[in-house]
Amino acid sequence: MTTDKVRKRQGDTVTPAEGPGRGPGLRPRPRTGRKACDLAVKILSGFFALLALFLLAWILSTVIRRGAIALNWEFFTELPPVAGAEGGGLSNAIIGTLLITALAALMGVPIGMMTGVYLAEFGAHSRIAAPARFVINVLMGTPSIIVGVFVYTFLVLPFGGFSGYAGAVALAILMLPVVARTSEDMLTLVPNTLRESALALGAPRWKVTLGVIFRAARSGLITGVILAVARIAGETAPLLFTALNSPWEVDGLGQPTANLTVTIFQYAMSPYDNWQQIAWGASLLITVFVLVVMLSTRFLLRTRSR
Amino acid sequence: MCASLCAYTKAAGHGVTPPPEYSGAAPQSGGDVVFKILTGGCTVVVLVLIGAIFYELLANSWLSIKTFGWRFLVSSDWDAVRSRFGAASSIYGTLVCTAIAMLLAVPVGLVTALFLVELAPPRISRLVGTGVELLAAIPSIIYGMWGLFVFAPFLSNYVYPGLQSGLGFLPLFDGPTTGIGMLTAGIILAIMILPFITAVTRDVFMMVPPALRESAFGMGATTWEVTRKVTMRYGFKGIIGATLLGLGRAIGETMAVTFVIGNAHRIRISLLENGNTITSTLANEFQEAAAEPLFRAALIELGLILFVLTFVIQALAQLWLRRVSRGMGGGL
């Protein structure tokens, strides 16, 4: 490594600390103790980096090993079994999760992206821009369970009952700040010359934004949306207070709706082996989805930057 | 770099300079006015949202606030039958678990970031970096499953008995070694926020001007000396910001904690005992509470306490990071 080379060269030339004006205080300090300390820290940091990889491998291998046993054709086609019985699957929860997540994206993405557009293109220095950025960051760090409780008090209590719609609203609120933040960042990355040339052709601002800026920032915007979807797909706490769960087929989102994550929570906490096994199957499904999405966006970004 | 993590670090600093405005440059078309109102309206929705969350939580916990007053914060009663509720044990558990998580995750995150930036060859650094990001992407409920079925039994069989025979004389490590309890919850929380702290610290380390580090190396300093005396001192404020953000995450984490903490409403000195946190109480008891107004209000007041806590932490982190990035000339 270059740093080592530099240090060695330095050691060779500096050690004879003689010459006019050089007091004994400038003599190099003994190196053995310092080198030992350096080595200890290097070994320690390598160890912890390895530990992080080891933990990842441990968690993933557990989920894959235990989840793979539970996954079969029935898992995707049948309704949940009664406690203790064999067979059965989570077809309703898979459909429910897909529906709730899709509806959440339908609400969260447009609002989030519009906010990003306002902050980047129209009102970057307006009076509400600074507080809006602040609030977006605070929302991003607000625990998801708080959003769940909020939607419970806001939609579930007044409208009489848990519903898939309320679940979708909760997830949309969680998506909102992520989409807004990444959209703003991606739009500000678009060079100003593009805006200027489009405006010089006489295009109105909104056409410039939709037709030129969006096209230039497309892959970044898509990445932001995908990451936000991946984030909400694994959320459990907000759904616990809103969509709850149900052992029945999904029949519209107007009532408690089956979904994968709350099912994992309820089945894992139950004492029945067959339910716990199904929970592992659902865990594998969620994990694979989230990680595949994560890795593919990384790949997308890397190929773009080349 | 994972976008969501990156967004946090960029959050306060606005690393990218916004483009200048053109609103006055050309006569605005009708479409422009509509578009501006539309997008501005969405921005206002986001602003209103945070106020709405606060208002709803306050309004719906009013019954409990009126009934228990300040006693709610210091009482550890939790009796649904006699309708007496207090938040003390939940707050205590939240603080203890978060403290354990921070004590473990901050130093480990620091040295892991050091490894990524200073020590590892680029290829290994990228590999480990990806691994750390994947660790951040795993949903919290998966940590809960793994914690309950794999990690807690592991700790109970191999780690806690040894810990107890070595340090059992301390009241902190007295008690049962079932593997379910506050210490296990704290360790799992630490694993969950580790990637977060590592990522932000790595960004802080990479911001240090190379000339500064190189001149320290030129003086004959070892890698650790450069890190401790130059990189960390330069990036100290950024590391504080990273710690605050990690703290905000740890304190609101729900599912992983709920699985392994044991959910007992009491305050125990021993870290191996069952406990509860604000989030685990909410997740566990909400369904029974839904029918009883006072019980429900007490739970929502717990949520309100958590919201205020995280809001303060987030606000502090933002202001801090903004000040720091201004002091460093942006870029964080």
Residue ranges of the domains in chain B? 36-327
**ipTM entry:** 0.87
CA distance A64 to A284: 6
A256 Cβ under 8 Å from any chain B Cβ: no
CA distance B161 to B179: 10
Q: Can you give the pLDDT at residue B327?
A: 66
Largest CA distance in chain B: 79
The distance from CA A82 to its chain's CA centroid, rounded to whole angstroms, is: 34
Chain A environment of B131 (Cβ under 8 Å): 52-53, 56
Chain B environment of A290 (Cβ under 8 Å): 137-139
Burial of B164 (0-12, 13-18, 19+ CB in 10 A): middle
Q: Can you give the pLDDT at residue A305?
A: 55
Residue ranges of the domains in chain A? 92-305
pLDDT confidence bin for A296, thresholds 50/70/90? confident
Residues A44-71: tens digit of each pLDDT:
999 999 999 999 999 999 999 999 998 9
- Asked whether residue B332 carries a pLDDT value surpassing 80, the answer given is no
Looking up tokens 């079932």, which residue turns up?
B178
For residues B162-177, average pLDDT: 83
Residues B210-229: tens digit of each pLDDT:
898 889 989 888 888 888 88
pTM above 0.90, yes or no: no
Chain B environment of A238 (Cβ under 8 Å): none
pLDDT confidence bin for B20, thresholds 50/70/90? low
- Residue range B36-327 forms a domain whose CATH class is mainly alpha
Chains A, B: CB pairs < 8 Å: 327
pLDDT confidence bin for A11, thresholds 50/70/90? very low
Q: Can you give the pLDDT at residue A93?
A: 94
Q: Within 10 Å of residue A66's Cβ, how many Cβ atoms?
A: 20
B31 Cβ under 8 Å from any chain A Cβ: yes
Residues B283-301: tens digit of each pLDDT:
999 888 888 899 999 999 9
Q: Does domain A92-305 bear CATH number 3.40.1190.10?
A: no
CA distance A103 to A257: 13
Higher pLDDT, B2 or B239: B239
Residues A125-163: tens digit of each pLDDT:
889 999 999 999 999 989 999 999 999 999 999 987 899
DSSP assignment string, A20-49 = TT--GGGSPPPSHHHHHHHHHHHHHHHHHH
For residues B171-180, average pLDDT: 83
Average pLDDT along chain B: 86
Q: Which of A52, A147, A240 sits opposite B131 (nearest CB)?
A: A52
CA distance B218 to B187: 40
Higher pLDDT, B104 or A4: B104
A89 backbone φψ class: left, alpha, beta (φ>0; ψ -120 to 50): beta
In this prediction, what percent of chain B has a pLDDT beyond 90? 46
